[in-house]
């Protein structure tokens, strides 16, 4: 897949409001112990200027999906199938439905085009700012470096822009903080510095991988607020990866639920929370404590735990934890994606795709 | 509740004002770390990690300790198990019918008996289990150290402990790496239970776990409490979990308790502005509530415990701050209903709590 880096601009089509479309993505890790299918059938769209939340438990492939988009999957992992279509805006042109469409999965991870997109058109912020910022460079220098990698600007101009973006993300006394090292900043400020760096090149898509998980609730509230404001100002789309359903309810326009590398359900945020269709989504929503519920009530649990990645269940990956498991069906057939309506899709045999309609089985799997 | 305490001659230790149901009575607990500077390494100042805590834990209850990172909640837990030696104050442990013992001052050689009664569950099940020890060694070690069991009896004990926490006894000779996060946390719980403790300190015990597993562990903690009459000190920053598990909650800010109340009143009618802000910051898992509520977003960061602000430590971030807040430190005072708060304006302020809604 990686070998051909031919521009595919004519054939792939994208909905007019989509910025990025991931289709039947597969990212596999051939390890000594066996093949780990970290992502195996992820499909979703990110609309321009909106927030897509990707939810799931650890090991469900949300981070690997994000890394696949940027082609920074750790070795020996590799994108082995599927498409990642991205609408690339020309620099300086307004954000609109025009612009060339690139299949990121077909680009050479080390090629010039991918390097321009990475950090330029699509930026990423990580969970633990301390491990993703360089400890031996000032945050200012790190932002300047990001700007100068992507744009041909003078040192002075780059510095001005860095200070401006630091100011924009709410770092107090941005001019002085420009010369601070990451260890001199608190967790919240570090995460702000990371966001500043990601935004310095005005990306069309910001991928945020659990950006608030390591933060306190109060700091988390600040950062979430900031991201919403910045989205209004910059008009970028955000792909927000989290396992916290509360954060999803706060941030998302659209939601994708992943389980064992597969997107099991997607839709707009209100339908996902108030009309979940997949048993896993329902179970997840039932298992979280909600404030105002009172003390000493029992929580609903999902039985068992996420299966071992080396030993994936046959058929539907959720069948051995599912309360609505249909023996003989769920453990045999990998559920195909079923469109419920325009933006709503579920992969569950309760909604169809079972033997009666056996012909439709092998779609995209 | 406040019957006269143990009238045994408790030399030096006052047993007054303490009910029979009190298991742990913490008074004016302090933990100050010196900041040493210069050639002579003289203390140039102190980090007041824990700065005068007063609270009691009653038998069989769960006390929640919440606050932002750096507020001293973990240090408090570690003082109670004496991982840290407190620099001041008393930790009175009321064992069975005996006079209370001050754990804060017990010599380290005499600590062993209290370490049997007070156990800890740690946050990160990946780093708190030795990767080179099998489950038998991990869970059985406390039994060996305290000379309770050995040989085949040890195996039996370990097997039944593993069963108690929902693990198969056959796993006994496996190593921690073979288990998922939730299973490892169960191992940590089994280890904590091995000596049949009275008080278990759970320091962010479920924060590192996945949502679906988190619910399992929370239910397990509740079942164990009922079966074994355990008392929990539950340290957490996650208020939704605290509401679910705790009978009473103490809110900490920069080494001090700013509010302490039973869970229902704390969540529905907080008295301290910091509690209100904490509650407001928790994301509610319902997208329809998103636009309807006004969120209080605190500005700035937690105060530096080495150089705290004057007056009320919270005043630089407090939306209701008055001039007096910058000069005078509010004491933690009883509001009459058993709840206490450290705020000058607790009576005047009408603070918003969490209202129940059907999600």
Q: Please write the tens of the pLDDT for every residue from B161-180.
A: 999 998 888 889 999 988 88
Size (chain B), residues: 359
Is B68 within 8 Å of A216 when comparing Cβ atoms?
Answer: yes
Query: Which has the closest alpha carbon to A365: A14, A20, A26?
Result: A26
Pair of tokens at residue A311:
């030993």
- Residue from the list B212, B282, B298 with its beta carbon closest to the beta carbon of A246: B282
Rg over alpha carbons for chain B, rounded to the nearest Å, is 21
Nearest-10 Cα torsion for A160, A164, A165, A166: 100
SS3 assignment, position A131: helix
Token pair 């406040």: residue: B2
CA atoms within 13 A on the CB side of A355: 7
Q: Which residues contact B44 (CB under 8 A, 6 or more apart)?
A: B35, B36, B37, B38
ipTM > 0.90 (yes/no): no
Pair of tokens at residue A100:
């060339």
State the CB neighbour count (10 A cutoff) for residue A241: 23
Strands B88-93 and B22-37: antiparallel
- Residue from the list B211, B239, B287 with its beta carbon closest to the beta carbon of A269: B287
Residue A348 · residue A365 · CB < 8 Å: no
Is B215 within 8 Å of A224 when comparing Cβ atoms?
Answer: no
- Residue from the list B183, B263, B285 with its beta carbon closest to the beta carbon of A249: B285
Residues from chain A that touch B225, judged by Cβ atoms under 8 A, are none
Q: Which of B72, B165, B212, B277 is the mutation pick for testing A, counting most A CBs within 10 A?
A: B212
- Residue from the list A216, A225, A300 with its beta carbon closest to the beta carbon of B237: A216
Q: Which residues contact B260 (CB under 8 A, 6 or more apart)?
A: B55, B248, B249, B250, B251, B332, B339, B340, B341
pLDDT greater than 90 at residue A365: no
User: How high is the pLDDT of residue A3?
Assistant: 44
User: How high is the pLDDT of residue B353?
Assistant: 84
Residues from chain B that touch A224, judged by Cβ atoms under 8 A, are 283
Write the DSSP assignment of A5-19 as a string of letters.
Answer: -----SS----TTEE
Residues from chain A that touch B182, judged by Cβ atoms under 8 A, are 305
pLDDT greater than 90 at residue B292: no
Residue B335 · residue B272 · CB < 8 Å: no
Residues from chain B that touch A285, judged by Cβ atoms under 8 A, are 285
Is B288 within 8 Å of A299 when comparing Cβ atoms?
Answer: no
- Residue from the list A58, A249, A299 with its beta carbon closest to the beta carbon of B283: A249
DSSP bridge pairs for A241: A54, A209
Residue A264 · residue A353 · CB < 8 Å: no
Q: Which of B125, B215, B242 is the mutation pick for testing A, counting most A CBs within 10 A?
A: B215
DSSP bridge pairs for A267: A255
Pair of tokens at residue B357:
């809604």
Q: Which residues contact B359 (CB under 8 A, 6 or more apart)?
A: A273, A290, B285, B286
- What are the angstrom distances between the C-alpha of B24 and each of A355, B67, B80, B115, B253? 62, 21, 9, 14, 21
In a domain, A121, yes or no: no
Give the B window 42-81 contacts with A, CB below 8 Å: 68-69
Write the DSSP assignment of B210-261 as a string of letters.
Answer: -HHHHHHHHHHHHHHHHHHT-EEEEEES-HHHHHHH-SEEEEEETTEEEEEE
- Residue from the list A225, A291, A295 with its beta carbon closest to the beta carbon of B247: A295
With 0-12 CB in 10 A as exposed, 13-18 as middle and 19+ as buried, what is B82? middle
pLDDT greater than 80 at residue B294: no
Give the B window 294-353 contacts with A, CB below 8 Å: 295, 297-299, 301-302
Q: How many domains does chain A have?
A: 1
Query: Which has the closest alpha carbon to B272: B193, B229, B324, B335?
Result: B335
Domain coverage including residue A284: 276-360
User: How high is the pLDDT of residue B295?
Assistant: 75
Note whether B245 contacts A: Cβ–Cβ < 8 A. yes
CATH annotation of B22-129+197-246 = 3.40.50.300
Instruction: Tell me which long-range contacts A170-177 makes (C-beta under 8 A, separation of at least 24).
Output: A170/A222, A170/A226, A171/A196, A177/A139, A177/A140
Pair of tokens at residue A181:
């090292």
User: How high is the pLDDT of residue A12?
Assistant: 63
User: How high is the pLDDT of residue B341?
Assistant: 94
Pair of tokens at residue B217:
């562990």
Nearest CA in chain B to A248: B285
A92 or A247: which carries more pLDDT confidence?
A247
Strands A205-209 and A122-125: parallel
Q: Rounded to whole angstroms, how far apart are CA atoms B182 and B184?
A: 5
- What are the angstrom distances between the C-alpha of B127 and each of B5, B158, B186, B236? 41, 21, 14, 18
Eight-state DSSP code of residue A74: P
Residues from chain B that touch A213, judged by Cβ atoms under 8 A, are none
Tell how far CA A43 is from the center of its chain: 12
Is A58 within 8 Å of B289 when comparing Cβ atoms?
Answer: no
Query: Which has the closest alpha carbon to B314: B266, B260, B273?
Result: B273
User: How high is the pLDDT of residue B40?
Assistant: 81
Domain chopping of chain B, boundaries? 22-129+197-246
Q: Which of A215, A244, A289, A307 is the mutation pick for testing B, counting most B CBs within 10 A?
A: A289
Residues from chain A that touch B246, judged by Cβ atoms under 8 A, are 295
User: How high is the pLDDT of residue B356?
Assistant: 55
SS3 assignment, position B356: coil
Q: Rounded to whole angstroms, how far apart are CA atoms B177 and B41?
A: 42
Q: Rounded to whole angstroms, how far apart are CA atoms A303 and A1?
A: 39
Token pair 């839709």: residue: A267
Residues from chain B that touch A301, judged by Cβ atoms under 8 A, are 212, 215-216, 219
pLDDT greater than 50 at residue B257: yes
User: How high is the pLDDT of residue B14?
Assistant: 42
Pair of tokens at residue B191:
């280890």
CA distance A318 to chain B (A): 13
Write the DSSP assignment of A207-247 as a string of letters.
Answer: EEESTTTTS-HHHHHHHHHHHHHHHHHH--EEEEEES-HHH
Model confidence at B19, pLDDT cuts 50, 70, 90, reads: low
- Mean pLDDT is lowest, of A102-116, B172-186, B294-308, B328-342, for B294-308
Nearest CA in chain B to A295: B244
Pair of tokens at residue B147:
């000379």
Q: Which residues contact B147 (CB under 8 A, 6 or more apart)?
A: none
- Render pLDDT for A274-313 as a digit per residue (tens, 0 to 9): 999 999 999 999 888 877 766 677 888 888 777 877 888 8
- Render pLDDT for A199-219 as a digit per residue (tens, 0 to 9): 888 899 999 998 888 788 888
State the CB neighbour count (10 A cutoff) for residue B63: 24
In a domain, A355, yes or no: yes
């Amino acid at each position: 897949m990686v070998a051909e880096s031919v521009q595919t601009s004519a054939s792939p089509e994208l909905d007019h409001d989509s910025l990025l479309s991931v289709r039947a993505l597969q990212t596999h890790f051939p390890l000594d112990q066996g093949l780990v299918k970290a992502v195996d059938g992820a499909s979703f769209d990110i609309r321009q200027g909106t927030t897509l939340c990707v939810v799931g438990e650890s090991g469900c492939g949300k981070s690997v999906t994000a890394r696949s988009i940027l082609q920074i999957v750790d070795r020996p992992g590799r994108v082995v199938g599927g498409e990642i279509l991205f609408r690339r805006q020309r620099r300086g042109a307004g954000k609109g439905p025009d612009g060339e469409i690139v299949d990121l999965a077909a680009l050479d991870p080390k090629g010039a085009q991918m390097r321009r997109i990475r950090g330029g058109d699509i930026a990423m912020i990580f969970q633990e700012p301390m491990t993703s910022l360089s400890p031996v460079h000032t945050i200012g220098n790190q932002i300047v470096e990001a700007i100068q990698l992507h744009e041909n600007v003078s040192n002075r101009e780059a510095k001005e822009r860095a200070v401006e973006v630091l100011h924009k993300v709410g770092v107090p006394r941005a001019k002085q903080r420009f010369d601070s090292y990451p260890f001199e900043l608190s967790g919240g400020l570090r995460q702000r510095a990371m966001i500043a760096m990601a935004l310095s090149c005005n990306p069309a898509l910001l991928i945020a991988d659990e950006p608030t998980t390591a933060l306190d609730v109060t700091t988390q509230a600040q950062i979430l607020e900031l991201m919403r404001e910045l989205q209004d100002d910059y008009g970028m789309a955000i792909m927000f990866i989290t396992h916290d359903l509360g954060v999803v309810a706060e941030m998302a326009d659209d939601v994708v639920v992943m389980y064992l590398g597969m997107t099991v359900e997607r839709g707009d945020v209100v339908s996902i929370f108030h009309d979940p269709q997949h048993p896993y989504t329902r179970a997840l929503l039932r298992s979280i404590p909600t404030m105002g519920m009172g003390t000493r009530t029992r929580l609903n649990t999902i039985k068992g735990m996420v299966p071992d990645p080396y030993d994936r269940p046959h058929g539907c990956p959720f069948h051995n934890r599912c309360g609505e498991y249909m023996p003989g069906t769920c453990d045999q057939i990998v559920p195909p994606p079923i469109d419920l309506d325009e933006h709503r899709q579920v992969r569950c045999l309760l909604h169809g795709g079972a033997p009666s309609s056996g012909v439709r089985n092998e779609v995209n799997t | 509740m406040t019957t006269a305490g143990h009238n045994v001659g408790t030399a030096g230790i006052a047993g007054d004002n303490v009910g029979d149901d009190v298991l742990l009575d913490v008074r004016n607990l302090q933990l100050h770390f010196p900041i040493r500077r210069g050639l002579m390494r003289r203390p140039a100042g102190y980090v007041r990690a824990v700065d005068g805590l007063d609270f009691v834990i009653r038998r069989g209850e769960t006390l929640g300790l919440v606050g932002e990172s750096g507020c001293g909640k973990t240090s408090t837990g570690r003082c109670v198990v004496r991982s840290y030696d407190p620099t001041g104050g008393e930790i009175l442990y009321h064992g069975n019918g005996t006079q209370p013992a001050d754990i804060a001052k017990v010599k380290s050689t005499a600590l062993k008996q209290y370490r049997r009664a007070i156990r800890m569950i740690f946050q990160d099940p990946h780093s708190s289990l030795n990767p080179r020890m099998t489950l038998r060694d991990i869970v059985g070690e406390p039994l060996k150290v305290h000379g309770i069991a050995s040989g085949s009896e040890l195996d039996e004990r370990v097997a039944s402990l593993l069963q108690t926490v929902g693990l198969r006894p056959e796993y006994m000779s496996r190593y921690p790496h073979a288990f998922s996060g939730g299973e490892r946390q169960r191992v940590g719980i089994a280890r904590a239970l091995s000596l049949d403790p009275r008080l278990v300190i759970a320091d962010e015990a479920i924060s590192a776990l996945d949502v679906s597993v988190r619910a399992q562990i929370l239910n397990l903690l509740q079942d164990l409490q009922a079966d074994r009459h355990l008392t929990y000190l539950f340290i957490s920053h996650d208020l939704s979990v605290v509401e679910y598990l705790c009978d009473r909650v103490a809110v900490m800010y920069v080494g001090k308790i700013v509010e302490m109340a039973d869970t229902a009143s704390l969540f529905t009618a907080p008295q301290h502005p910091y509690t209100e802000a904490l509650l407001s910051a928790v994301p509610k898992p319902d997208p329809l509530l998103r636009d309807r509520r006004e969120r209080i977003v605190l500005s700035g960061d937690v105060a530096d415990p080495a150089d705290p602000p004057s007056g009320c430590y919270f005043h630089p971030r407090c939306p209701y701050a008055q001039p007096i807040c910058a000069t005078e430190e509010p004491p933690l005072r009883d509001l009459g209903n058993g709840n206490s708060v450290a705020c000058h304006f607790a009576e005047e302020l009408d603070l918003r709590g969490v209202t129940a809604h059907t999600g």
